[in-house]
Amino acid sequence: MNKAIALAPEYAEAYAGRGNGYLAQNKYDLALADFNKAVALKPELSGPLQQNFELVYNERGGLREKQGNYGAAIDDYTLALQLTRSAQERSTIGAMSTT
């Protein structure tokens, strides 16, 4: 992901991916920084990005919770739920339009 970010520093998905990698390595501060950057680059999401960023908000919420930043964690969890709900609604509408 470092190469992707070097080549395209505005590519939010690369920051999200690298953040997940840092999270897997228990590098929480680096993960949080990358999740914050991804969200800052793509505050408005649509389509497949919503599913990816649902995970970003959920993971960032978990990191904020570990830090004791409960208000920010709740905000992130709420956004993740909103994205989930939005994706489910789009799926339902899509299924209805094909019948």
Number of domains present in the structure of the chain: 1
| Per-residue pLDDT at 47 exceeds 60 | no
Using alpha carbons only, what angle is made at residue 27 by residues 58 and 81, rounded to the nearest 5 degrees?
A: 0
Secondary structure string (H, E, C) spanning 3-34: HHHHHCCCCHHHHHHHHHHHHHCCCHHHHHHH
The per-residue pLDDT for 89 is 56
**Quick one: what percent of the chain has pLDDT higher than 90?**
47
| Per-residue pLDDT at 26 exceeds 50 | yes
- For residue 12, the domain's CATH number is 1.25.40.10
Grade residue 39 by pLDDT with cuts at 50, 70 and 90: confident
Rounded to the nearest integer, the mean pLDDT of the chain is 82
Model confidence, pTM? 0.68
Q: Which domain holds residue 58?
A: 2-97
Q: Can you tell me which residue has the tokens 């960032």? A: 60
Distances (CA, A) of 50 to 22, 25, 29, 57, 89: 21, 24, 23, 10, 12
